[in-house]
Amino acid sequence: MVSTDRRSWQRRASVSLLDFAVSPQDPDIILATSADGVLRSDDGGQNFTPIAAPPVVLLVWPSENFLVGVAADGTVAVSRDGGGAWGRRGTSIASPQPSPRHRPGRLYVAARWRLYESHDADNTFSVRYDVP
């Protein structure tokens, strides 16, 4: 559902999603994760079609073409072309939880009782905070 005033809502596609990310350049472009893989909408969520992508469950879209996805096993995948091609990155995250966060030069991912951080284009992750 979509709202511009937070009072009236417009229904869109009925899809079972795990997570989604909206293009920072175009709010009509949405990538979403589902049990069937990654889906893409070019019409604001009215329709979704599958795309070729790794089996990620979490997504973050921090800049125009840069996407980060995290699989259920903690594998990190990165796309630098808005979701067209993906490359595998770090794998040290266990049980990722929504939602990855990004700030220039760093990526943070929460995982059961830990917060992981990457400083090197998401190649490796280290524990930033560990709950005792």
Q: What DSSP string describes 63-111?
A: SSS-EEEEETTS-EEEESSSSSS-EE------SEEEEEEEETTEEEEEE
Distance CA 120, CA 116 (A): 13
CA dist., res. 56 & res. 26, Å (int): 22
Helices and strands counted in the chain (H then E):
0, 12
pTM: 0.71
Q: Are 106 and 118 in contact (CB under 8 A)?
A: yes
Q: Going residue by residue through the chain (132 aa), what tens digit of pLDDT does each one get?
A: 888 898 999 888 888 888 899 999 999 999 999 988 999 999 999 999 999 999 998 888 888 898 888 888 878 888 999 999 999 876 655 555 544 555 566 766 666 556 677 776 556 777 776 665
